[in-house]
Amino acid sequence: MAVPWPVLLLALPVFFLGAFVWAVFEHFLTADVPATMQQRAKLEPCTGNILEKLGICSMPKFVRFLHDSLRIKKDPELVVTDLRFGTIPVRLFQPKAASSRRRRGIISYHGGGSVFGSLDCYHGLCNHLVQETDSVLLMIGYRMVPDHHSPAIFHDHINASIYFLKALETYGVDPSTVVVCGESIGGAAAATITQALVGRSDLPRIRAQVLVYPVVQAFCLQLPSFQQNQNVPFLSQKFMVTALCNYLAIDLSWRDAILNSSCVPPDVWRKYEKWLSPDNVPKKFKKRGFQPWSLEVSSLLADDEIIAQLPEAFLVSCENDILRDDSLLYKKRLEDQGVRVTWYHLEDGFHGSLIFFDKKALSFPCSLKIVNTVVYVKGI
């Protein structure tokens, strides 16, 4: 017996309403917004995740939509120029006011997990850094997934960085004051490029590295912070592993192998265990639900002789971040080789909070704390 079309018309809205209610209900059951986070109500809806569960739009596409809808505000005190170093898009920020001396240089690498993020998205942050530090800042764009994968992304970062370092005089930058700065995967780029440039006599030496909740390893995913914060916005365990697979062009069927680190040979773990073991994470960071886990493999790629030559570092970590312990491990790694480290930890911070600092209603107290600390960090 055929169902009358008026009944179908009435049933469709009920069905979609039911699906939406289910997605919201399921989201609140699985999402974990820690009570220690200030203004946590702003994070709890996580609209992008709900739309993804409804099959309407993936979370990365939703974030890209938000990025594309941002309006760039022009600052009358700055000269902002879009350039291309070869095929690599970059944006140069320079104070308009004349200076009697060469200015500090900042090379900035944006976050977004190689999935989203853009020059436009980080425009406001770069504006603020240039104004507050009276610096010349270069923000580097790069090819992203799904069209491009590693090592293309690394090549874009390092090639643009070298191009800029060879042309510092053109941009009025003091070669002895260049700082690299990055957030999340941009922090990974800053750390990796600083290591790659060690010993280059043809280039100015990097003065310092500013790493805001960086990714410094991607093989040991059972550290305390990975267990404690696996469902905390905006970097869940599921999204991180998916982004990692896309970045490395690995099939998603490897997800479980990546999570338990069974995809890396045991001899590699034996070589690097002393740097990546959870034993290196201070006890106070293990109190919130950490279960000891038998590690077999993981790695940090840089040898001791490279680490020992790195410039001083400023590290920012957030308590409610799956990558919190990456910063703690890298801090210890640097300090063990005599590298000076300034560490700033936010108990109410979460991954991705930096980008919200100038978003008014969407801003969080921890967002402004990070920016202010980066701007006024002593000695850098």
Are the C-beta atoms of residues 322 and 294 closer than 8 Å to each other?
no
pLDDT for 24 equals: 38
Of 63-72, 173-182, 371-380, the range with the highest mean pLDDT is 173-182
Catalytically annotated residue among 114, 118, 184, 353: 184
Domain spans, the chain: 75-220+271-379
Show the tokens assigned to 140: 């580097």
Write down the pTM of the prediction. Answer: 0.82
Q: Which of 321, 325, 326, 348 is catalytic?
A: 321
The answer to whether the CB of 139 falls within 8 A of the CB of 122 is: yes
Tell me whether residue 321 is one of the annotated catalytic residues. Answer: yes
Q: Give the chain's mean pLDDT.
A: 82
| Nearest by Cα to 48 from 372, 352, 289 | 352
Is 118 noted as a catalytic residue in this protein?
A: no
Backbone angles phi, psi at 315, to 5 degrees: -115, 135
How many angstroms separate the CA atoms of 246 and 241, rounded? 9
- Is residue 184 among the annotated active site residues? yes
Q: What one-character DSSP code corresponds to residue 354?
A: G
Which tokens hold the place of 379? 């000695």
**6-20, 31-45, 76-90: lowest mean pLDDT where?**
6-20
What CATH number has the domain spanning 75-220+271-379? 3.40.50.1820
Which residue, 291, 235, 182, 181, is CA-closest to 49? 235
Positions of E strands within 126-215: 135-140, 179-183, 208-212
The one-letter code for the residue type at 47 is: T
What is the distance between the alpha carbons of residues 304 and 99, in angstroms, rounded to a whole number?
40
